[in-house]
Amino acid sequence: MISFKNFALRRGERLLLSAVDLTMHAGWRTGVVGRNGTGKSSLFAAVRGEVEADMGDLDLPNRVRVASIAQELPSLPDAAIDFVLAGDAAVAKVLKAEADAMAAEDWEAVAEAHLRMAEIGAYDAGARAGKLLHGLGFPAETHQRAVSTFSGGWRVRLNLARALMTPSDLLLLDEPTNHLDLDAVLWLEQWLLKYPGTLLLISHDREFLDNVCTHTLHLHGGSAKLYTGNFTAFERQRAEQLRLQQITHEKTQAEKAHLQKFIDRFKASAAKAKQAQSRVKRLAKMADTEAVRAEREVQIDFPQPVKLPHALLRINDGICGYPSADGQVVILDKVGFGLEAGDRIGLLGPNGAGKSTLVKSLVGDLPLLAGERYAHPDLRIGYFAQHTVESLVAGTSPIDHLREISPNVATQAFRDFLGKWSFPGDRAFESIDGFSGGERARLALALIAWLQPNVLLLDEPTNHLDLEMREALAEALSDFPGAIVLVSHDRHLIGLVSETYWRVADGAVIPFDGDLDEYAAWLRARGNAGELRTPPAMPAAAAPVAAAPATPKSKANPHKLQKAEARVAELERELSDIDGALADPNTWSDASKAATLGQRQSTLRSQLEQAEGELLALYDAA
């Protein structure tokens, strides 16, 4: 149990939180949400005992074991698996004692070490560490590599694996999905659902929050309010509160009309394409949340392209990769990929499989090793790469960046444009050195929008964006008439924006005939069949290995197929009923009933995932 009593917290002169009174019980999985700067990370620091309350008390049970992700990036000679194992200090200590005793041929000490290993479960610790590394995308051949040889993003993953390895009663995870690919995010979800302790989770990924959390802690305006339910349930409860308070009525009505237009447009396309059916599910979560969305401060838009030809960009028989001292490193082979006006394509696949390589080849930054890249003469690309935010020039202002692009444009035009991207007044002239990661990412997107592109190639644009900015980006992309290629681990964003999906894996780029829910089911079915996820190449990708010949598939039993379909339909109906009940504000007047419904919702989701995996396996056999 975690208890806050009249709790207040400052950072410098700023009052982050005041008069916080709430209790979180053991076993809860609580998502901590709020705008950037509201005190989420500072609250974690207080729980870890790194900062003291300015007023009131924060009470934790005696001897509670707390684990969290280290912020510093290690550069050590230790093997990756040893670094993760060291997260369990007791295991690491006894393994070292055993090794030292063996080296000294002290057999009595060896025997004592083995007894201790049996007591604390050290015999399978290596296997547990290996599973964590594998789940987070580390191929087996990298487990013995020195930590110092990994890039920054992979060291962040190592820190996450070490935190998960640490025995804990309370687990604090601050943005754990950053630097993960979608496959690793899905794996992490399943791991956290089985975690027996108490979880506090900061995330801007609403799908992740929805699927993991039983409660939501909202930080806003110096206060903290605890809600029962996941992020969608929180939004609906808060929307009802705002509606009852009659806050910004006219603004709410305007936002409702805008959101309805947004929903109608997506529903229309969802009716036409199987791959877009998941949009309806995601849009249903946004129903009746206009008041929360009207409260949002950030509104963005991408201007209409100067010209919008139909056939924009294409790669024919392309070989994508990199030249090397030994000739060339092939990442993707026989690529046939084209973009036309209005295309909205989401790229799926693990990190290192070639998604960024494909995007760079489309941009033209990475010349094809073979094949043809065709670009329309009026093509204008807006490209957001994973390093775009870091490439902004230190010591300069937003207006300086725009003036570098368009030196002859009047300053007032820059100010008017930046105001639409929430850089009003003097903010347009401030140095970006004082900007947050989210503000820098917003500026990078604004610079892309200034170019009035007809193609947007967005490679993980959400890493620095909070929930409000991600929602604004989804709506802005919905209005964009050009073509979009999107790489993102944020399922809510990619699920709303994308109409079709392509899977990048095993050296190939092929259409994926399904939506994100089916992709997740495909991953689970693949895992259940004993297959490993495609490992990312680290740090340089190797040439693709030819796929094994397909084996003949047996015909599925029609009775089993019908039974499996009925089971999925039954679970979906029951889950829909519970979702509807949790969406009713009256439900939350009875905390016990709401908690029971929340537990049943979590159970049904697990059962539905299993049933979908079984059904997918039968479809594959048909």
317 Cβ contact partners less than 8 Å away, ≥ 6 residues apart: 334, 335, 336, 370, 371, 372
**Which DSSP symbol is given to 349?**
S
For residue 398, give every residue at least 6 positions away whose Cβ sits within 8 Å of its Cβ, in sequence order, or none.
414, 418, 423, 427, 428, 429, 430, 432, 443, 446
- Percent of the residues in the chain that have a pLDDT greater than 90, as a whole number: 32
Q: How is residue 102 written in tokens?
A: 């063996």
Go through the chain and tell me how many residues it has: 622
Whole-Å CA distances, 343 to 457, 476, 481, 593 = 12, 15, 9, 45
What percent of the chain shows pLDDT beyond 70?
80
pLDDT value at residue 535: 37
What are the tens digits of pLDDT across the range 369-424? 999 999 999 999 999 987 888 889 999 999 999 999 999 999 999 999 998 888 88
- Which of 83 and 247 is assigned the larger pLDDT? 83
The kind and range of the H/E element at 174 are: strand 170-174
Q: Which contacts qualify for 387-394: CB closer than 8 Å, 24 or more apart?
A: 388/444, 389/437, 389/440, 389/441, 389/444, 389/463, 389/464, 392/432, 392/440, 392/443, 392/444, 393/432, 394/432, 394/433
pTM over 0.75: no
Specify the higher pLDDT residue, 126 or 484.
484
Residue 285 near residue 209 (C-beta atoms within 8 A): no
Q: Which residue has the higher pLDDT, 615 or 388?
A: 388
Does residue 395 or residue 543 have the better pLDDT? 395
Amino acid identity of residue 346, one-letter, is G
**Closest C-alpha to 26, from 240, 229, 194, 198:** 198
With 0-12 / 13-18 / 19 or more C-beta atoms within 10 angstroms meaning exposed / middle / buried, residue 390 is exposed
Q: How deeply is 347 buried, as exposed, middle or buried, from its count of CB atoms within 10 A (0-12, 13-18, 19+)?
A: buried
Q: Which candidate, 212, 137, 161, places its Cα nearest to that of 533?
A: 137
pLDDT of residue 371: 94
Specify the residue for token string 């007894």: 115
Mean pLDDT value across residues 441-464: 92
pLDDT digits (tens, 9 = 90+) for 191-220: 999 999 999 999 989 899 999 999 999 998
Tell me the per-residue pLDDT of 346-357, one tens digit each, with 9 for 90 and over.
Answer: 999 877 788 989
pLDDT at 252 over 60: no
Please answer whether residues 365 and 387 qualify as being in contact, where contact means their C-beta atoms are separated by less than 8 angstroms. Answer: no
Lowest mean pLDDT among 178-187, 381-390, 510-519, 535-544: 535-544
pLDDT at 113 over 50: yes
- Of the candidates 46, 128, 26, 144, the one whose C-alpha atom is nearest the C-alpha of residue 87 is 128
pLDDT of 455 higher than 90: yes
